[in-house]
Amino acid sequence: MKVRPFEHSDTETLASLFTASVHVLTAALYSEAQRSAWAPQPPDLALWRRRLSGLQTLVAHDADRVLGFISYETDGHIDLLYTAPGFERRGVASLLLASVEIALLAVDLYTEANLVAEPFFSRHGFQIIEEQNVLYRGVEFRRYAMRRPRDFNQELHSARLLLRPVTLRDLLPLAHAAQTTDNARIDTMIRNSRDCWQRHGYGMWVIVPKGADSLIGWCGLRPIQTPGEPELLYGLAEPARGLGFAAEAARAVVEFAFGLPDVSGVWAATTPDHLASIHVMERSGMSFDCRAHLDGVDSVIYRLRR
């Protein structure tokens, strides 16, 4: 899957994708009358040409198929973000949003999210500013005005967890969670993570249960072999093990990774007898790749590619 700039010849394809996406993917939350007002059939191509002419648009594609698109303004406004039916929850929207983030590093991002899109934007750090009820073509719609500040630091959210990028203030809590007195090793990990964020757009997060103040572990990515296929790392303090936290954090990090344009795969390794760690890899979507010696240790490697 790749992202390219919009071409005028894409207009009809994007209009059709938008229409299909609205009528198929939002049917559970919007009535037929709402969907018909939102995306009339057939789409008005003249209107679409005018609308897209005033926006920056990126297109996600795979071979000769268009999988989704995002349209935005240079002030940070995300006007359109739609995925083709059948390709939702496959990282298309995350990849498109990540491409806009790279293009607009110095501005806040904001959007008006429909009920289906709101959870996606929330997972990517947008906050609800207000709930809105708007009238469009004589039909009322509920949506959310959402914003993400420019200094957003790539926090991730799952059902039970908050993952935030590790900082030096986490040194002692992390050492305690890892049951180590080797503070220098933890310090090096934190500093390497900071460098990794700057170079590659990913790094290490600490894991904090929602509603709690203390971290219970860590999860993240590092470019051991190649930046485009980083290694997934994770670890939990002893009292937090066996509750599914590691797998939940790993899934959030893997989803984030595949939202980055330059990441083509993720891998992880453990010893063959570490069944709990293997279970985490499998639950994050990876499958067995090979057995190898890593740093002199017999290891099994699990991998997930696009």
pLDDT of residue 105: 67
Q: Strand locations in the chain, DSSP E? A: 2-5, 56-62, 65-72, 77-83, 109-113, 127-136, 139-148, 156-157, 161-165, 204-209, 217-222, 231-236, 265-270, 287-294, 297-305
pLDDT of residue 297: 95
In the chain, where the domains are located: 2-148, 156-305
Structure token pair of residue 225: 């072999």
Q: How far is CA 297 from CA 189, 288, 289, in A?
A: 21, 17, 16
pLDDT of residue 150: 61
Neighbours of 241 (CB within 10 A): 14
Protein fold of 156-305: Aminopeptidase (3.40.630)
Q: Give the three-state DSSP class for 267.
A: strand
The CATH number corresponding to 2-148 among 3.40.630.30, 3.40.50.2000, 3.40.50.720, 3.30.465.10 equals 3.40.630.30
How far is residue 125 CA from its own chain's centroid? 10
Cβ(49)–Cβ(15) below 8 Å? no
Global confidence as pTM = 0.54
Per-residue pLDDT 10s for the chain (306 aa) are 889 999 999 999 999 999 999 999 999 999 999 999 999 999 999 999 999 999 999 999 998 899 999 999 999 999 999 999 999 888 889 889 888 887 886 688 999 999 999 988 887 878 888 999 999 999 999 999 998 866 555 789 999 999 988 887 889 999 999 999 999 999 999 888 877 876 788 899 999 999 998 999 999 999 987 889 999 999 999 999 999 999 999 999 999 999 888 899 999 999 999 999 999 999 999 999 999 999 899 999 999 998
Q: Please tell me if the domain spanning 2-148 has the same topology as the one spanning 156-305.
A: yes
CA distance 216 to 221: 18
pLDDT of residue 196: 83
Pairing of strands 65-72, 77-83: antiparallel
- In 3-state terms the chain splits into helix, strand, coil percentages (rounded to 5) of 35, 30, 35
pLDDT of residue 69: 97
